[in-house]
Homo-oligomer: A and B are copies of this chain.
Amino acid sequence: MRRPGASPLYAQVEAILTDRIARGDWPPGLLLPAEPDLASELGVSPGTLRRALARLERRHLIERRQGRGTFVAQQTSAQALGQFFRVRDLSGKPVRPETVVTGITTGPAMGEEAVRLRLVPGEKVHRIERLRSLNGVPQIVERIVVPAALFPGLSLPLAPQRLETEIYVHYQQAHGIIVVRAEETLSARAASTEEARALGREPGAPLLVIERITYDAAGRPVELRVSLLDTRDHRYAVELV
């Protein structure tokens, strides 16, 4: 195949398949055609297709299972937690948070928020407050901002329960949005009186601040989040390679 000044063929194939998934043409859970079939449909060799599939798998957009086939990734609670929740206990073991919603409001996006979420000024957002416990003890205060357009059913009484699991599962089930990437910045800050009360600490206690922006498969921002972690018994863990 030719490639005058364009990108490599495997990258083009990767982009085509990413687009099918991002648009919902290929919904989560779908079994993809077998590799030889998909390769001939796209007009590329099996080797080139495999190279594109390997990259999609590394981005967690598909799952390949030997003997079964290749599937569009399902956003499950356990999977989203493993991918995006970096908190560990002091021995390094992963912990599972229990979550309670402590407040929901709806209003226009602030200047900074609107820019980062790429909303028109004044567009509505939901603000969600949650308290997350690790091993039964409140350890994380969390404030989430999401475009209201992505969360229409939020005023319903059942909404809080949905918000107590990872909201990425809701995104996928209700809108076919697959969350694939997040950027986090970390800092340290003194607790306010409200934050301190929620976490059972004294005002001014040092907290770890985790600010996150989350993107879907199409590269659109879909969530802003600030998490305040009490780090007496837990750590935020990363590996650098």
Contact = CB atoms under 8 A, between A and B. Distances in A.
Interface stretch (A20-28, A38-46, A158-166, A177-185): A177-185
B206 A241 contact: no
User: How many copies of this chain?
Assistant: 2
The secondary structure that dominates the A interface is: strand
A208 B236 CA distance: 11
Interface stretch (A64-72, A132-140, A186-194): A186-194
A188 B188 contact: yes
B59 A184 contact: no
A241 B188 contact: no
Interface in A12-35: none
Interface in A100-123: none
B206 A207 contact: yes
A198 interface: no
Given A188-B207, A188-B208, A181 B237 contact: no
A71 B186 CA distance: 35
Given A88-B185, A185-B237, A185-B238, 9 more contacts: A60-B241, A83-B240, A84-B240, A92-B185, A183-B237, A183-B238, A186-B208, A188-B207, A204-B204
